[in-house]
Amino acid sequence: ELKVEQNPLFLSMQEGKNYTIYCNYSTTSDRLYWYRQDPGKSLESLFVLLSNGAVKQEGRLMASLDTKARLSTLHITAAVHDLSATYFCAASGNTPLVFGKGTRLSVIA
């Protein structure tokens, strides 16, 4: 059974700082997704990573995938308040997407 773990679950960052969110998954997954959810809102797709070594970047967010380590990271560069949200990773084996518990990010001045 595919399991997905994220850490940390809660993250409070100062504006301008860098940090990384980690996503581990337990069995082979052919792709890895990152989603963002604002409070009371739906999930918005950020990145899909399709192969070992894949790296995607959008603004201050960069996601990477290491399929051998079964690890994906979401790196935040020079955080700004607008990045405050909950970030989910999701993996897929021979199943629909299995989501991590999410990382609640708060960026403070």
Partner 1 sequence: DAGVIQSPRHEVTEMGQEVTLRCKPISGHNSLFWYRQTMMRGLELLIYFNNNVPIDDSGMPEDRFSAKMPNASFSTLKIQPSEPRDSAVYFCASSTDRVHGYTFGSGTRLTVV
Of 72, 88, 89, 107, which one interacts with partner 1 (CB under 8 A)? 88
Task: Check residue 87 for interaction with partner 1 (CB under 8 A).
Answer: no
Of 11, 25, 33, 107, which one interacts with partner 1 (CB under 8 A)? 33
Region of residue 78 (phi > 0: left; psi between -120 and 50: alpha; otherwise: beta): left
Sign, CA torsion 77/82/85/91:
negative
Of 3, 59, 101, 108, which one interacts with partner 1 (CB under 8 A)? 101
Q: Return phi, psi of residue 66, to 5°.
A: -125, 100
**Residue 31: burial class (beta carbons within 10 Å; 0-12, 13-18, 19+):** middle
Site string for partner 1, 35-64 (x = CB under 8 A): ------xxxxx--x----------------
Residues at the site binding partner 1, with contacts judged by CB under 8 A:
30-31, 33, 41-45, 48, 88, 92, 95-102
